[in-house]
Amino acid sequence: MNKYEKFDEQIIEMAKAGLRPADISKKLNIDSRRVIDRLKINNITDYNRGNSNKRIDIENDIQRQVLIGTILGDGCIFKGKGNKNCRMNLAHSLKQKEYFLYKYNILKSLGFQEPKVEKEIHSKNKQEYYCIKTQSLTNPLFTGLYNIWYKNGKKIIPKNHLKDITDLSIAIIYFDDGYYDSTFYIAMCNFDIESINNFRELLFNKYKIETTIQKNNILYIRTNSKIKFFNIINRYATSDVLYKLGELLETPESL
């Protein structure tokens, strides 16, 4: 008798109730691969695989804005080996848990799993730190977004989609990858020059914000534009990213 056979009745009952193998494995404390094996042995093929072939749609404009900002910020869309569709990762230092949960609570209906805290080892200084992360199910939604915002495996900012980048999206991009040092900077190291210039064009044409590109593709918000930029992003700051507003923290929007 296979040692997992004793779980068959529970596995079959949970699968018919709509639970995914991953959920069943957690409840029974056995490997999800063994759950799938037992389902196959019992000829149970119609079970919940996470709805990865049923398209999830963006529900509202706020969700769309946060999603685009996250894609262009710290989010990562990728296709795993053997997967038909893409999935998306989202992670932040545990020090930014409030900010992470702000984004997660807006995006979770798009198939994101329950967040978990993990210990990581920094690749350079070897120090330990904790991060909070989530990953979506594979879905055609993320495949479509990958085809827009990625090219040859790298993030891009195409000119014909600049209209999709809103105030909230810009705030997410900044709080993900920006920092303050007398004015605002955004690390855009993962983008090519064309994409960065497209983003600069958006900032200037829509907001009259002047920028320059510094070493390592760091976007510099010129000092004469920092109040304009502040007025775009400050209303979206959670308490754990307020430090990124620097000396302008208490600056009124009317300035």
- The reply to whether 167 falls in a domain is yes
- The reply to whether 103 falls in a domain is yes
Q: 250, exposed or middle or buried, with CB in 10 Å at 0-12, 13-18, 19+?
A: exposed
13 and 107 together in one domain: no
End-to-end alpha carbon distance in the chain:
76
pLDDT beyond 50 at 255:
no
pLDDT beyond 90 at 129:
no
Contacts of residue 255, defined as CB under 8 A and 6 or more positions apart, other chains included, come to: 227
| Residue 82: predicted pLDDT | 76
233 and 176 together in one domain: yes
- The reply to whether 23 falls in a domain is yes
pLDDT beyond 90 at 182:
yes
- The reply to whether 47 falls in a domain is no
- The reply to whether 46 falls in a domain is no
Note the pTM of the prediction, 2 decimals: 0.77
Amino acid letter, residue 78: F
151 and 161 together in one domain: no
Query: In three state form, how does the secondary structure of the chain look?
Result: CCCCHHHHHHHHHHHHCCCCHHHHHHHHCCCHHHHHHHHHHCCCCCCCCCCCCCCCCCCCHHHHHHHHHHHHCCCEEECCCCCCCEEEEEEEEHHHHHHHHHHHHHHHHHCECCCEEEEEECCCCCCEEEEEEEEECCEHHHHHHHHHHEECCEECCCHHHHHHCCHHHHHHHHHHHEEECCCEEEECCCCCHHHHHHHHHHHHHHHCCCEEEEHHHEEEECHHHHHHHHHHHHHHCCHHHHHHHHHHCCCCCCC
- The reply to whether 189 falls in a domain is yes
| Residue 204: predicted pLDDT | 98
pLDDT digits (tens, 9 = 90+) for 88-116: 999 999 999 999 999 999 999 999 999 99
- How many other CB atoms are found less than 10 A from the CB of residue 69? 25
The confidence band for 8, taking pLDDT boundaries of 50, 70 and 90, is: confident
107 and 85 together in one domain: yes
| Residue 17: predicted pLDDT | 63
pLDDT digits (tens, 9 = 90+) for 38-84: 888 888 776 656 554 577 889 999 999 999 999 999 999 999 877 88
| Residue 254: predicted pLDDT | 34
Which pair of structure tokens corresponds to residue 148? 């827009």
162 and 145 together in one domain: no
**CATH number of the domain to which 95 belongs:** 3.10.28.10
62 and 27 together in one domain: no
- Sheet with 211-214, strands from edge to edge, namely 178-180, 184-187, 218-221, 211-214
- The reply to whether 30 falls in a domain is yes
177 and 222 together in one domain: yes
Q: How do beta strands 116-121 and 128-135 pair?
A: antiparallel
162 and 68 together in one domain: no
21 and 88 together in one domain: no
123 and 211 together in one domain: no
- Domain boundary, last residue among 105, 120, 155: 155
The domain total for the chain is: 3
Averaged confidence pLDDT in the chain? 89
10 and 61 together in one domain: no
136 and 99 together in one domain: yes
pLDDT beyond 50 at 227:
yes
Which pair of structure tokens corresponds to residue 253? 């929007």
- Domain boundary, last residue among 155, 181, 216: 155
- The reply to whether 191 falls in a domain is yes
- Domain boundary, last residue among 128, 155, 182: 155
Domain, as residue range, for 22: 5-41
